[in-house]
A and B are shown apart, each in its own frame.
Chain A
Amino acid sequence: MSTGRSVGILAARSIRNIRRLPSAFFPALAMPIFNMVVFAGTFFAVTKIPGFPTDRSINWYMPLGIMMGAAFAGVGLGFTTIRDIETGFYDRLRMSPTSRMSLVIGPLMGTLTRVVMMTTVVIAIGIALGARFSGGVLGVLCLYIAALGLSTIGAGWGLGLAFIFKDMRGAAIMQLSIFLVMFLSSAQVPLNVMDGWLHTVARVNPATNILRLARVGLVNESNVDHLSFGAVWGGLLAILLMGGLSLGFALRQLRKLSN
């Protein structure tokens, strides 16, 4: 049984549905654009805070918009899986002898394709609105890696919850958890301007490291070393660890679905 072919056809099903169900994709594209424009426009004054790492608010908020879009696209896989469970279609997939891994990775690949499309569009609009990648191509690459990584973490989490709840009760937890993780991080302001419990929570929140990776090509323009390994390893490690854990969680819950 070829896992690769199964992954491919399950990914193709997900991607095909972008065209067949645009009403489900366009809000996921519009939300990060809206977040980027509204945050950058409303909170432009944060760049005046001493120690703020960029003087362009769009450089700070464009990655945030992308990362929120990526996280929600990830947990969105949980929503579509709940639909498949409710209609019985997921039983068809489970009854096939293909590997359980391909049932997780296939739809994930479809989701990551959507994230690449969304990230590309938001970057294009962000650049048109004044965002500048001082980190060049490497900086752009870091943003894509961070978006794909966060989306993978969200997808694993969303899938696992879908397999536990099997209906839309899981949806509220998926959404709430994304908001909590994102807003209890350095989403709005850098760690060095935070204080108290929020600083403590944000410092240990893996999303902070992933956001740092996402922004590494857009901030600290005056510091020539800002794209060093030291600046990105925390984000990469967080993606590897959290991604592995969340996909493991999804796979475990999938296997327990017949209990």
Chain B
Amino acid sequence: MNNAPIIAEQLARHFGDVKAVDGINLTVNQGEIFGFLGPNGAGKSTAVRMLTTLLRPTSGTARVAGYDVVKQADEVRRNIGVALQDAAIDPLMTGYELLELQAVLYGIAATKMKQRANELLERVGLTAAADRRVATYSGGMRRRLDLALSLIHQPAVLFLDEPTTGLDPMSRLTLWEEVRRLNREGTTVMLTTQYLEEADQLADRIAIIDHGKIVREGKPSELKRSVGDPTLLINVSREHSDAARSVLARFGDMRPTAEGTLGVGLRGGAERVAEVVRALDEAKLVVEHLELNQPSLDDVFAEATGYRLEGADNAPQAG
């Protein structure tokens, strides 16, 4: 029997005709940081809500920490910590009061409660703000408190749903470091994100979800290698765009890019850049900008979905 902390089999959730999550299979191994990557509306949060017992699946099964999310929901809850998107915190309460509330709801003995709350406040750097109402906290402070709340009962599995969305770069780095630290201490982490860099930096393995389906899964390095050739990006004036496209197409397959940029998967890699430049020059095309990018997770995403995650708000959404 598979003892992985998170296993989903054909897990699906439909809202009327909308298939928010469309039969995903997923295994997160013990001690991993697993990144769940996708644009807004791809189905990440819906999947997490099912795995954390907040939402009942339409079909399929899932086991978290060894327990069925529907039939053994209480056992699942006892073994997981969750920090949902948009830190769900009562602004009228203080940080300490929230930790106290969380401790009681998780059955932590009164004698240990204060010590545990103080440990966590120190860990996330909120000791000085513990007695202030949460309404006065910055976004970063709220996220850190949310993380502390999710850790009160020392869960074996931690779900972080877009934990750094809306945070400044410094707060983001602080939170990343804390996630790494927790993982080093043995916590299995499932992290949803729409940030490629976050998935690349933190995750041991990632799954890319689009329109409710997992379209790629693996280690970031393997996924990037699977894309193959590096991407050559060029910018030319609008009237030369079609001509440039036909030149580039001779050197590899065209790849999806942001508007105004042309991209080709350059067969043969960096050695052929000079050849491309000569070909563009012979076609009398003025190149405004040229860069060669090694395969990134965005390339993996683009190859799998046909559009790029950066600027993916324009992409069609699954709900």
Interface positions of A (Cβ within 8 A of B): 1-2, 5-6, 8-10, 13, 16-17, 20-21, 84, 87-98, 258-259
Give the residue of A1, A13, A88 whose beta carbon is less than 8 angstroms from that of B101.
A13
18 CB contacts below 8 A, A to B, read A1-B107, A5-B107, A6-B104, A9-B105, A20-B92, A21-B92, A84-B90, A89-B89, A89-B90, A93-B105, A94-B53, A95-B52, A96-B106, A98-B105, A98-B106, A258-B53, A258-B54, A258-B55
Residue B248 CB within 8 A of the other chain? no
Residue B149 CB within 8 A of the other chain? yes
Q: How many angstroms from the CA of A94 to the CA of B90 in the assembled complex?
A: 14
9 tightest A-B CB contacts, nearest first:
A88-B88, A96-B105, A97-B77, A1-B107, A9-B104, A97-B78, A98-B105, A20-B92, A258-B56
How many residues from B make CB contacts under 8 Å with A? 29
Given contacts A258-B53, A258-B55, contact A92 B104 (CB under 8 A): no
Please, which residues of chain A bring their CB within 8 A of the CB of B106? Answer: 1, 96-98
Please, which residues of chain A bring their CB within 8 A of the CB of B280? Answer: none
Please, which residues of chain B bring their CB within 8 A of the CB of A20? Answer: 92, 133
Residue B86 CB within 8 A of the other chain? yes
Which of A17, A88, A89, A92: most chain B Cβ within 10 A?
A92
Residue B100 CB within 8 A of the other chain? yes
Q: Residue of B at shortest CB range from A99?
A: B74
Given contacts A1-B107, A13-B90, A258-B54, contact A95 B101 (CB under 8 A): no
Q: How many angstroms from the CA of A8 to the CA of B101 in the assembled complex?
A: 10
Give the residue of A87, A91, A96 whose beta carbon is less than 8 angstroms from that of B102.
A96
Which of B52, B88, B92, B93: most chain A Cβ within 10 A?
B88
Please, which residues of chain A bring their CB within 8 A of the CB of B88? Answer: 87-92
Contact with A along B21-64 (1 / 0, CB 8 A): 00000000000000000000000000000001111100000000
